[in-house]
Structure formats: structure tokens, C-alpha cells
């Protein structure tokens, strides 16, 4: 791993996290370039051409992260026109972009068609019809993959489970063949694949392979119908170890997926990893403001809150919290809570930590769905972001100023 203690001080690669906090302030996101590259290679080494890897931009959309992955040959999975603009700005290739999402607008469709993206992951019959209209208006063909809901329980948090028939995502398996036939009839639609995404933070291969078997059976049926499916996109969802869980054996899963797909022949496989690329490559540094002794429990009040890292409040997600400077003092049982005016504003509950005012803490595994889900709630500027490369640190996003937060707002005078 790229985050380790040296002489009792936490380092990111060869940079002292304490020195980074002193230079750039807190709260502060710190990313390890080497860890991102290592995570990417874990997939790439067992995923030969023509198979494709499309990084899920929503996990971490900083231009420096996207540029690094583009240099490594990544495609990109986007869910908005804004994410497409980010990919292009970072040097990513539009012809390696897949566009997911349940409610794409006409404007987003037109922009993606103009850039020549690889395909749209279409999630409903209504979206298919609208995309055909937009493509016809622009006199182009829209490349399409149908996102099918395989009704597989990923056994994950309900907010990040997407593969059940009760979820908003995808086309029901029972409707897939009819909608595929309709796609074949539409004059400005080029149906080239099917895809699925069953959820996030999955740590066993069984749900993925169950979904793959159902999708491969669907492809066989569609080919019998005369529909030439060229690719199967199995989405993302591979989890990371937040609480010392046993991680998924990525290589074994990918090799087994390729083995099962070989029976059909002529099929390009695609994946959309996000969290598994950047999750453990980032941490959030926060400074303790106060140690508050309560009647029933103690609190460490820190300067990072739920607006900086939403996952604990939204999902009750666990992030390990460790001191930046190790201490010999006996730890206390504390809740690590932020300054946001909400009872749900916490980074960690019931943690054994020894820290006092001025000390620094590192919230680990914060590289995915950290900054991208952050907000300005309570008129709080968003954190700075730093990329570490060996013994060098690079500021890849400046800290917002308070005046940045009302840029674009206008005062309306009260009539007298």
C-alpha cells in the first residue's frame, strides 16, 4: 500500500501527510498516483484486447485522475454530459466512452453523438425512442447497448444495489428481447451490445458470475433472433476492503468471466471499475478542533464534516480513522464528528483513538465517492485535493474560498 507509517508519522508514498496538511491546510484529500496505477494494472494485466476497461468517472472525477487513466489507456463510463466534458478536458478519447444513466436529456444525447462516443447504455424503451429521434435530427446513427436488469441480489447496501427488479436501473430481463427487436427496427439506432450493473462494494465473485450467466443466455437468445450482439458490459461494483474484509480476487473473477464468454464466441467483454481503481488510493486529512467529554461518550470534533465525506452519513459506511502522528497515550472510545449542524454529521462512531486539539487524523479509503459527493452545505468551501508522486506533491484542485460559493448569485432589492 502507498500509505504507511515511518518513524511514527503517516506517509503518502514518500510525502509526510503532516507536512502536506501544513502546506495545503485541512480538510485535505490526498491521492497516491502509484496506488491508482497499481490498481489499474490489476485489471489490465488479465484483460487482453479486444476487451475494454472503462473507468467509472463518478467515483473520482478530478482532471488529474482522469488524465492519468487516459494515459494508461482507459475508456470511461459516464453518467452525465458534465462527466463527458471532464473526460474530454482531461485528454480522454470520446470513442472510448460509454454513457450510462437512467434520465439522459436530449441535449446530453446530442452532445455525446457530436463527440462520437463508443455507445449509449440505454436503460428504458422510452430512452431508446428518444435517442432515435435525436440521432435522426442530427442525421447520425446512435450506437447502443441495452442495460438489462438481471434481477441478481448483490447482497450489498440497499442504496447501492442496482440489479434487482425493484431498482430503477435497467430493462427487465423479461422485456429485453422485445426491446432489442424494437432497437433493430429503429432507423437511427445501431444495437451492438448488452450490459448490466448489479450494485457496488461487492466482495465475492458469485453475484457477478450469476449475472454473467443470465446475460450470456440472453445474448444467445438474441443471436438466435438474428440480432448480432458484439459486446457484453458487466459494469463495475467490485468492492474494496474498508474494514479488513477479504477482497475479491480480481484476476480469478476476470479469467472466469472470459472463460464463460468464450463459449459464445465473437464477444468483446467490458468492465466499468471505479471504486476498485481509486478507493484505497486516497485519504482525507482532518484536524481535531476539540476533545469533548460527554456524559455518556466522548467526542473528537474535527474540521471535516459530512459535506466533505458523505458516505458515513448516507450509507453508514465505515472508514478506518488513524492518527497522522502515532501516540503512546492510551486510546479512548470516541465518536469522530464534524462541524456540520446535523446529528448525522459523523466520520466514525465508537472508535478507539488518542487525540487532542490540533492533532491530525486520516480517514482512509476515501479516494472514491469522497470529493465527488462533497457539497457546500452550511456554506462550507470544499477541500483541496493533492496528488502525490513519489516524494513530490501536486495541488490538483485548489481549496474553494467562501466568496467562490456565491459566485453567480444575485441580490434582489426589496421594493420601497
Residue 165 sits in a domain of what CATH number? 3.20.20.10
Residues 191 and 236 in one domain: yes
Which of 271, 290, 312 is where one domain is finished? 271
Asked whether residue 64 is assigned to any structural domain, the reply reads no
pLDDT over 70 at 195, yes or no: yes
Asked if residue 380 belongs to a known ligand binding site, the reply is: no
Residues 157 and 185 in one domain: yes
Residues 305 and 203 in one domain: no
Q: What is the pLDDT of residues 365-374, one digit of tens each?
A: 999 999 999 9
Asked if residue 323 belongs to a known ligand binding site, the reply is: no
How big is the CA angle at 95 (ends 91 and 101), to the nearest 5 degrees? 95
The grid coordinates of residue 9 equal: 508519522
What pTM, to 2 d.p., does this model score? 0.95
Residues 264 and 311 in one domain: no
Q: At what angle do helices 106-115 and 81-89 cross, to 10 degrees?
A: 30
Residues 205 and 350 in one domain: no
Asked if residue 262 belongs to a known ligand binding site, the reply is: no
Residues 253 and 295 in one domain: no
Asked whether residue 54 is assigned to any structural domain, the reply reads no
For residue 155, the model assigns a pLDDT of 57
Q: Where are the alpha helices (DSSP H) in 124-230?
A: 125-137, 173-185, 205-224
For residue 308, the model assigns a pLDDT of 98
Q: What is the pLDDT of residues 342-353, one digit of tens each?
A: 999 999 999 999
For residue 132, the model assigns a pLDDT of 98
C-alpha distances out from residue 39 to 33, 42, 65, 230, 251, Å: 10, 5, 13, 27, 12
Cβ-contact 233, 26 below 8 angstroms: no
Residues 184 and 209 in one domain: yes
Residues 299 and 396 in one domain: yes
For residue 161, the model assigns a pLDDT of 47
Share of the chain above pLDDT 90, in %: 91
Residues 173 and 25 in one domain: no
Mean pLDDT, the chain, integer: 94
Which of 255, 271, 287 is where one domain is finished? 271
Domain range enclosing 19? 3-30+279-406
C-alpha distances out from residue 242 to 32, 159, 231, 276, 331, Å: 17, 17, 32, 11, 21
Asked if residue 390 belongs to a known ligand binding site, the reply is: no
Q: Is 341 a catalytic residue?
A: yes
Strands 189-195 and 360-363: unpaired
Residues 139 and 177 in one domain: yes
Residues 267 and 323 in one domain: no
Domain count, the chain: 2
C-alpha distances out from residue 387 to 3, 15, 104, 225, Å: 13, 10, 32, 50
* Rounded average pLDDT over 56-81: 98
Amino acid at each position: 500500500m502507498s500509505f504507511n507509517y515511518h518513524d511514527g508519522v503517516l506517509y503518502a508514498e514518500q510525502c509526510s501527510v503532516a507536512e502536506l496538511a501544513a502546506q495545503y491546510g485541512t480538510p485535505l484529500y490526498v491521492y497516491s498516483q502509484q496506488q491508482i496505477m497499481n490498481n489499474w494494472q490489476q485489471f489490465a494485466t488479465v484483460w487482453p484486447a479486444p476487451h475494454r476497461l472503462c473507468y467509472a468517472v463518478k467515483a473520482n472525477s478530478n482532471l488529474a485522475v482522469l488524465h492519468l487513466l487516459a494515459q494508461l489507456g482507459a475508456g470511461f463510463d459516464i453518467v452525465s454530459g458534465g462527466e463527458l466534458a471532464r473526460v474530454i478536458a482531461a485528454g480522454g478519447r470520446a470513442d472510448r466512452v460509454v454513457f450510462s444513466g437512467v434520465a439522459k436529456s436530449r441535449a446530453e444525447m446530442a452532445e455525446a453523438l457530436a463527440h462520437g462516443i463508443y455507445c449509449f447504455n440505454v436503460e428504458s424503451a422510452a430512452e431508446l425512442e428518444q435517442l432515435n429521434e435525436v440521432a435522426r435530427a442530427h442525421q447520425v446513427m446512435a450506437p447502443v447497448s441495452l442495460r438489462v436488469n438481471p434481477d441478481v441480489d448483490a447482497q450489498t447496501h440497499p442504496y447501492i444495489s442496482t440489479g434487482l427488479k425493484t431498482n430503477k436501473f435497467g430493462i427487465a430481463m423479461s422485456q429485453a428481447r422485445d426491446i432489442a427487436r424494437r432497437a433493430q427496427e429503429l432507423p437511427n439506432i445501431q444495437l451492438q451490445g448488452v450490459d448490466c450493473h448489479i450494485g457496488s462494494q461487492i466482495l465475492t465473485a458469485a453475484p457477478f458470475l450469476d449475472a454473467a450467466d443470465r446475460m450470456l443466455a440472453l445474448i444467445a437468445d438474441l443471436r438466435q433472433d438474428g440480432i448480432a450482439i458484439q459486446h457484453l458490459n458487466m459494469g463495475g461494483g467490485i468492492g474494496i476492503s474498508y474494514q479488513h474484509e477479504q477482497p475479491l480476487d480480481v484476476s480469478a473473477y476476470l479469467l472466469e468471466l472470459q472463460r464463460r464468454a468464450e463459449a459464445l464466441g465473437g464477444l468483446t467483454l467490458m468492465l466499468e471499475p471505479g471504486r476498485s481503481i481509486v478507493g484505497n488510493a486516497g485519504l482525507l486529512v482532518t484536524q481535531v478542533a476539540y476533545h469533548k467529554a460527554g456524559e455518556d461518550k466522548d467526542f473528537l470534533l474535527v474540521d471535516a464534516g459530512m459535506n466533505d465525506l458523505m458516505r458515513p452519513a448516507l450509507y453508514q459506511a465505515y472508514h478506518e480513522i488513524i492518527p497522522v502522528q502515532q501516540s503512546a497515550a492510551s486510546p479512548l472510545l470516541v465518536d469522530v464528528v464534524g462541524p456540520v449542524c446535523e446529528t448525522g454529521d459523523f466520520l466514525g462512531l465508537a472508535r478507539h483513538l488518542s487525540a487532542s486539539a490540533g492533532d491530525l487524523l486520516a480517514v482512509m479509503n476515501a479516494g472514491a465517492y469522497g470529493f465527488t459527493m462533497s457539497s457546500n452545505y452550511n456554506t462550507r468551501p470544499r477541500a483541496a485535493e493533492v496528488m502525490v508522486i513519489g516524494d513530490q506533491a501536486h495541488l490538483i484542485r485548489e481549496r474553494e474560498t467562501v466568496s467562490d460559493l456565491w459566485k453567480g448569485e444575485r441580490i434582489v432589492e426589496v421594493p420601497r
